[in-house]
Amino acid sequence: MKLYNTLSRKVEEFQPENPERVKVYTCGPTVYNTAHIGNFTAYVYWDLLIRVLRLNGWHEDRVLNITDVGHLASDADEGEDKMEKGAKREGLTVWQIAERYMNEFLADYRALNLLEPTQICRATDFISEEMALVDALDAKGLIYETSDGLYYDTAKFSNYAEFAQLDLAHLRAGARVAFSNEKRNVSDFAVWKWVHDGEDHAMQWEYRGRMGYPGWHLECATILHERLGEPVDIHTGGIDHIPVHHTNEIAELEGAYGKQMARFWLHNNFITVNGEKISKSLGNTYSFADLAKRGFSHLDYKMWVLQGHFQSERNFSFTDLASAKQRRLNYRNFAALRWQKPATDMAAVRDMITAQLNNNLNSAGALAELDKVIAENTPDEAFVKFLDEAFGLDLAKNTPDISDEMKAKIAERQHAKDAKDYARADALRDELAAAGINLLDGADGVIWQFAD
């Protein structure tokens, strides 16, 4: 299996250290708001990653974290805490906000038929472990205190600029104005923030005799260390995480314990909507509820994502979503053929699909292989199961065999047609259509299909 590794900026052959436990860490959502379709592209791509690991016969141990504390509105450790912002907006407590949006996220996650992570970890469940990591950084002389909190001295971590290929001199020049004079270097970041007198910050814990809360990056470094142990085989996130969040996770974990954090880093690119950035002000932060209002399901959207590649920037439009939906329905009709015609040998197609997926998760290429053969072939149950394992489009579940009663009606309609009793034949066709089954007359007989 080949994967593009951000660490080397190259497509590399991937082999897990332990095929029985492929360690995968996925940076999860900050649960302060309804997620939009852009936020979910990552989880669809990383679901594909897990599916391809499994196709290779490997077993994953995968952690997804839920950020419910410490993520500030700006990456520069400034601005409001996102959770506090959500709480104010809705007149709820931060804990209620976390609960609400975590559940909403998981409901969408499941409706997308994404494989359950082995472990789902909430940042607030790891506070004492996060403090231990700060202690370890302190013991290495990597942090210093300011009036704002405990900061990482990035000049002391010699590889700091390496991962993101940062140009620190350029950063320094550009940040002269904004950069607080208590920070030693412009790229220094908070590992722990103090709550100041009079500051309204509901989530706070006592550490070193003061109330405070963790900086955002600390949770991933901690949870990965506690639940998987470094190095993990694969760490995933959005490309926006490269210069700050992942760079800082690495500085924290590798700085504290001296072991490589992850062997492979995978980053998904961003999507635009009708050519524009997704943003509240443009009114294009579509949620799955918005898609549903226009007649599109979670799986239609998933199909749309799978038509692209995680490294490519993509543009979303409802026209393209409609064609993805049609493609998904075509596959569903293909899967339903297994009840109606003798199966053909599809072993070679299976191999071609697997080869495409093993080539840096080329789902678009894999789907193109399938498109080439669906018109002339009939799958068996095992092939449909294979497609479901590879893509997670729930083809088997959505194409149960029809009842004997329906089959009898289809046969009766055929007799009526043969006897030129078209009124009876049409009445039977309408009855079936009302029950969600459409008939398609072809050269080699009639085929039934599920209506939309």
- The entry of Zn ion, ligand AMP, none near residue 5 (CB within 5 to 8 angstroms by kind) is none
Q: Which residues contact 94 (CB under 8 A, 6 or more apart)?
A: 68, 69, 83, 84, 86, 87, 202, 203
The interface region with ligand AMP, picked from 34-42, 358-366, 427-435, 437-445 by CB under 6 A, is 34-42
Nearer of residues 127 and 352 to Zn ion, judged by Cβ: 127
Q: Contact between 123 and Zn ion (CB under 5 A)?
A: no
Question: Segment near ligand AMP (CB under 6 A), from 38-46, 154-162, 193-201, 319-327?
Answer: 38-46
User: Which partner in Zn ion, ligand AMP, none is near 354 (CB below 5 to 8 A by kind)?
Assistant: none
Say if residues 97 and 89 touch (Cβ distance below 8 Å).
Answer: no
Which of 27, 21, 1 shows the shortest CA–CA distance to 265? 27
Shortest Cβ 107–ligand AMP spacing (Å):
17
- Contact residue for Zn ion among 1, 53, 142, 220 (CB under 5 A): 220
Residue type, 46: W
x/- track of binding to Zn ion for residues 13-32 (CB under 5 A): --------------x-----
**Helix or strand run (H / E) with residue 105:** helix 94-111
| Residues in contact with 186: Cβ distance below 8 Å, sequence separation at least 6, in sequence order | 168, 171, 172, 175, 179
- Is the CA virtual torsion 129, 135, 140, 141 positive or negative? positive
Q: Which stretch binds ligand AMP (CB under 6 A): 207-215, 270-278, 299-307, 369-377?
A: 270-278
Length, in residues, of the chain: 452
Residue 195 binds ligand AMP, judged by CB under 6 A: no
CA distance linking residue 430 with residue 419, whole number of Å: 18
Q: Which is nearer to ligand AMP, 27 or 410 (CB)?
A: 27
28 contributes a contact to ligand AMP by CB under 6 A:
no
In this structure, are residues 219 and 130 in contact, taking their beta carbons and an 8 Å threshold?
yes
Look up residue 240 and give its DSSP letter: G
> Which residue in this structure is represented by tokens 């607030």?
124
Beta bridge partners of 288: none
Among 261, 271, 335, 361, binds ligand AMP (CB under 6 A): 271
Asked if residue 41 binds ligand AMP (CB under 6 A), the reply is: yes
Binding-site partner at residue 39 among Zn ion, ligand AMP, none, CB < 5 to 8 Å by type: ligand AMP
**Minimum gap (Å) between residue 266 Cβ and ligand AMP:** 12
d(Cα 134, Cα 256) in Å, to the nearest integer?
8
Q: Is 295 left (phi over 0), alpha (psi -120 to 50) or beta?
A: left
Among 240, 320, 380, 421, which residue interacts with ligand AMP (rule: CB under 6 A)? 240
CB of 79 to ligand AMP, least distance (A): 12
285 binds ligand AMP (CB under 6 A): no
Angle at alpha carbon of residue 158, lines to 156 and 160, rounded to 5°: 95
Judged by CB under 6 A, the number of residues near ligand AMP is 10
User: Which partner from the list Zn ion, ligand AMP, none does 220 bind, CB cut-off 5 to 8 Å by kind?
Assistant: Zn ion
Q: Rounded CA gap, 11 and 8, in Å?
A: 8
Amino acid at 246: H
Please pick, from the candidates 168, 278, 446, 447, the single residue that binds ligand AMP as defined by CB under 6 A: 278
- The answer to whether residue 75 forms part of the interface with ligand AMP (CB under 6 A) is no
Q: Is 12 in the site for ligand AMP (CB under 6 A)?
A: no
Residue ranges in contact with ligand AMP by CB under 6 A? 30, 38-39, 41-42, 238, 240, 270-271, 278
